[in-house]
Amino acid sequence: MSHVFISYARKDHATAEQVMAVLQQHGIPTRTDTGISQDEDWKATLETALNESSACVLLVSPAAIKLPLVKHEYQHFLYHGKPIYPVVIEPVPLAEMPHMLRRFQMLDMATEPETAAEQLVASIKAGHSGVKAAQAQPRLVLELARNRFHEQRNEIFETMEKLTQDDSIGEIVIRFVEDEA
C-alpha cells in the first residue's frame, strides 16, 4: 500500500500525530510535509510527496480550512481523482466550510474519535472514501489582457468567488495574453 498523505494545520499537529499512529498501527503508511528539510527544494519535494501518495486524510478544523497550503494539498487529490478522507477534528460552521468539501461525508473525530478512527481505517483499506470519491473537476481558464485585468480586478474577483461556489468547477486559472492596443 502506498502512503496516505495527512493534510492539516500546524496548530493541529498533536491530533495529526495521533491519527498517523492509528493508521500506522493498522499497517497504513503515512506521510506529511513536516519531514521536508530546509536543504531541499521544498515545493518540488511536497509535489513529489503528493504525487506518490494514494489518498489524502484531511484533518478539518477552523485553522486548516483557512490555510492556502492545506487547500492546495486537498485540491491536488481532487484534481488527480484520488480519494480524500475528510476528518473533522474541530467543528467548523457550515458557512465557513469550503464549497468543494461540502459534498463529502466527513468522519467526526471531534465527538466520536474511536468510531471515526475505525471508519477511517476501514475506508482506506477498502480503497474508497466512504461516500463520494474525489473526481477530477474541470478547470476554467480565463484569458485576459493584463491591462484589462488591472482595470476590472474587483469585478473579476467577485465573479471568481461566485464561480468557486459552483461544485462543478475545480480550478480557475487566469492566463495573461498580449495587452490590447
- Specify the CATH number for the domain of residue 36: 3.40.50.10140
Cα torsion angle, 59, 48, 55, 140, sign: positive
Average pLDDT per consecutive 10 residues, the chain (181 residues; last block may be shorter): 89 95 95 74 84 94 94 89 92 87 87 91 78 51 78 80 65 72 55
Contact 30, 24 (CB under 8 A): yes
- Domain count of the fold of the chain: 2
Are 170 and 88 members of one domain?
Answer: no
What is the reported pTM? 0.70
**Which residues, at least 6 apart from 98, have a Cβ–Cβ distance to it below 8 Å?**
65, 71
Question: The domain containing residue 160 runs over which residues?
Answer: 139-177
pLDDT at position 159: 78
